[in-house]
Amino acid sequence: MRRFLLLSLVAFAAAFTTLQPVRAASAAETFVATNIDKGLQILGNKSLSQSQRASQFQSFLEGLTDIDRIAKFTLGNARRTASPADVSAFDAAFRNYAIAVYQSYFNKYAGQSLKVTGSTSVAANDDVVKTVLVDPSDRSGNPLEVDFRVKSDTGRPMVVDVSVGTANGGLISLAIEERDQFSAFLAQHNNSVPALVAHLNQLTEQYRNGGAQPRR
């Protein structure tokens, strides 16, 4: 009798566990999963010419990321003292640079699939969506982690930062790394925003021509 009761309790517990509702994906998670797959599909579409892929990816990226907000963050305090003309020139140069950098990252991982593993709420309308890029040909069992910071305070979700896994298991925030690099450049060039703009234009061409590669 005791054995029967024990087996009944185990069966009930198993049934109860099975019936637990699966956690619904958050709006930020759904946004990332849907849109990043679109970007990977664009770059993996062999029926498109290189110029068509670049054009479609740019349109996709501009609808996915808040480039203006990222530009404001990466220029940092220099934005306060720069002239409006210099700020405008930086924003334009940064937009081209950001598109080239993100395309370089996506190109590197085209053909892989994105898997959302969860998300963390930083604040209201501010989430970090954790994902891994799974390479079907990689049997190491160590997929690349890519985290997307998504803010929805403008009425719709937009990516404002991407953090990419490194070989030593860490994460590199692209926005923070860019801000640090820009600050260091300005410190070495008399805080000249026009010099930074020229530097960004050079880097953009390097990324477009394959001369610069994303870090991992």
Span 112-150, pLDDT tens digits: 778 899 999 999 999 999 998 887 777 767 788 889 999
CATH topology for 26-208? Nuclear Transport Factor 2; Chain: A, (3.10.450)
Q: Is the pTM of this model over 0.85?
A: no
Per-position DSSP letters for 34-100, written without gaps between them:
HHHHHHHHHHH-TTS-HHHHHHHHHHHHHHHB-HHHHHHHHHTTHHHHS-HHHHHHHHHHHHHHHHH
Token duo for residue 58: 């740019």
d(CA 179, CA 153): 22
Span 168-189, pLDDT tens digits: 778 899 999 999 999 999 999 9
Span 14-26, pLDDT tens digits: 333 333 344 456 8
